[in-house]
Amino acid sequence: MSIQVEVTKDGNQVDESTKSKIKSAFSLLSILAFFATFTLMLVSAFLRGFVLYKFYEWFIMETFHAPSITLTQTFGVMIFVTFLLKRPQSTRTKKKGKLSYTTLCIDYVKSFINIPLSLLVGYLVHILL
């Protein structure tokens, strides 16, 4: 039975048990990144649906005397519009050739900044009209 040992640039030795620990740590991190991205995606969808619901209530119902819709109907409209206007993925992920959880997380964090700002601007317009 032989033990394979690699030497790093520093001159330190890395054995197989250390490699397996590093691989398991990276696999755990990738699982956590997946669930974090999925959670951010769901929360972002609910927040966007709420903003769309409020914009419909403030602007469409009052302007066109349209019937009221529920929050779940707003989510359905949002999903339909997203399906029609699906954007291509960012150029950062296309260059790498694979989807990066880090890029997705950054995009969803940016949307958490944009969503409340959109709601605030819409509310200010609603008040001023």
| Tens-place pLDDT, residues 17-57 | 777 777 777 788 888 888 888 888 888 888 888 999 999 99
Asked if residue 112 has pLDDT above 50, the reply is: yes
Rounded to the nearest integer, the mean pLDDT of the chain is 78
pLDDT at residue number 1: 44
Asked if residue 9 has pLDDT above 70, the reply is: no
Instruction: Tell me if the pTM is above 0.85.
Output: no
* Residue type, position 85, single letter: L
Rounded (10°) angle between helices 101-128 and 16-55: 20
Would you list the domain boundaries of the chain?
Answer: 36-128
Instruction: Tell the residue number behind the tokens 């005397």, with chain if given.
Output: 65
Pick from 124, 123, 116, 113: nearest CA to 55? 123
pLDDT at residue number 129: 78
71-95, pLDDT tens digit by residue?
989 988 888 887 787 665 554 445 5
Is 63 or 6 the better-scoring residue by pLDDT?
A: 63
pLDDT at residue number 95: 53
Q: Are 93 and 100 in contact (CB under 8 A)?
A: yes
